[in-house]
Structure 1
Amino acid sequence: MTRYLALLRGVNVNGRTVRSADLAAVVESIGGAGVRTVLASGNAAFDSDRDPAELKPALEAALEERFGYDAWIVLVEQEALAAVARAYPFERIDDVAHPYVVFGSSDAALDDALAAIGTNDVDLLQRGAGVLYWRCPRGSSTDTPAAKVLARAAYRATTTTRNLRTVEKLAAA
């Protein structure tokens, strides 16, 4: 069995509530085993023998059916997620900036987002394996150039962001 992390996009914000117990039940309904939800931001760790190309749409469909929204997830193997956390290229903890990881549904989506963001004096960005590493000033994670691009409709269905501490917790789930 492979340990996976399902990272849900856009839950527990803007009135879209997904309780941890309900999320776990949905994952179990598609055959996920050893389900553990992590934090209240739409993260589920679970084991499965299913092919990821089959697992992702099955979980999205089950989420849509249960919660009534157009569900989109990033599905990552736990080992790959741990490697992403270890590879974070910027300062991890300091008093002036937040460390984030932007997960994408495809390399093309991430490359497009990176090109749209461009170079600026506020955000530090670097492309990684299946992710964009992002570091931005504390208190401005919703209004930097990168944040504004990632909030566009074009990227809402293809990217989801987690802070580095959450990624590290997920890697251990």
Structure 2
Amino acid sequence: MTSTKKQALTRHVALLRGVNVNGIAVKSADLKALFVELGFGAVRTVLASGNVLFDTDESDASTLRTRIEQALCKRFGYDAWIVLLTQKTVADMAAGYPFERIDEERHPYLVFGSDATMLDEIIEKAGAVDARLERLKRGKGVLYWECPRGESTDTPVAKLLAKTRYKSSTTTRNLRTVEKLIAG
């Protein structure tokens, strides 16, 4: 008699880059349906900015990421890039946020990356950030960023993050959104 041990399910977070902006429209219901069709369990979308929670027993993150990106491209007709992390990893990253979590004048962000060298490059190119305007700090697999409310596209770091070079490997989320992903 042989027994087959089934791999445990892991809760993942797929952070899509560039959806529902610049003419790339992906409805949450359609996004959820795609992830269900891919065979994932407990699929849930969070907000309309390309956040998907799902369970899978697949353990090769690189293969899983590629499979999801290809399916997104085929279904929605755009060059899809995601950052794929376990929910626990996202929780650990959020717990490490080094700045004030609630500030009436500033917004807290996490910049997620699928390529550590790109995160290092962003830190290097940002150089000495003017702390009176914004703050940027490297964490494990993430950048912590804080900028003035209403200026998340106008600061020097924001302009650096918007460069095409980082499009395929980084995506930014507000800390409040990240906390919803952790709770989901």
**TM-score range normalised by the length of the shorter chain:** over 0.9
Q: Does 1:23 align with 2:31?
A: yes
Q: 2:136 aligns with which of 102, 115, 125?
A: 125
Q: Does 1:162 align with 2:173?
A: yes
Q: 1:118-149, CA deviations, whole angstroms, 9 ceiling, x for partnerless residues? A: 11212211111110000011121111110000
Q: Distance in 2 between matches of 1:113 and 1:158?
A: 11
**Equivalenced residues, count:** 173
Moved over 3 A (4+): none
- The one-letter code of the counterpart of 1:97 is R
Q: 1:87-129, CA deviations, whole angstroms, 9 ceiling, x for partnerless residues? A: 1000011111000000011110100111111112122111111
- The one-letter code of the counterpart of 2:158 is A
Q: Does 1:151 align with 2:162?
A: yes
Asked which structure has the greater CA Rg, the reply is: 2
- Secondary structure of the residue aligned to 2:147 is strand
Q: 2:119 aligns with which of 92, 100, 110?
A: 110
Mapping for residues 20-169 of structure 1, pairs under 5 Å:
20-50=28-58, 51-121=60-130, 122-169=133-180
Q: 1:22-72, CA deviations, whole angstroms, 9 ceiling, x for partnerless residues? A: 111111122111100000000000000112221100000000000000100
- Secondary structure of the residue aligned to 2:24 is coil
Gap runs ≥5 in structure 1: none
Q: Distance in 2 between matches of 1:74 and 1:99?
A: 19
- Secondary structure of the residue aligned to 1:47 is strand
* Identical pairs, percent: 59
- The one-letter code of the counterpart of 2:175 is L
Question: Aligned-pair RMSD on alpha carbons?
Answer: 0.8
Q: Distance in 1 between matches of 2:128 and 2:178?
A: 25
- If the length of structure 1 is used for normalisation, what is the TM-score? 0.97
Q: Distance in 1 between matches of 2:64 and 2:168?
A: 18
Q: Distance in 1 between matches of 2:21 and 2:181?
A: 20
Alpha-carbon contact 2:129-2:136 (below 8 Å) kept: no
- Secondary structure of the residue aligned to 2:11 is strand
Q: Distance in 2 between matches of 1:160 and 1:119?
A: 22
Matched with 1:2 is: 10
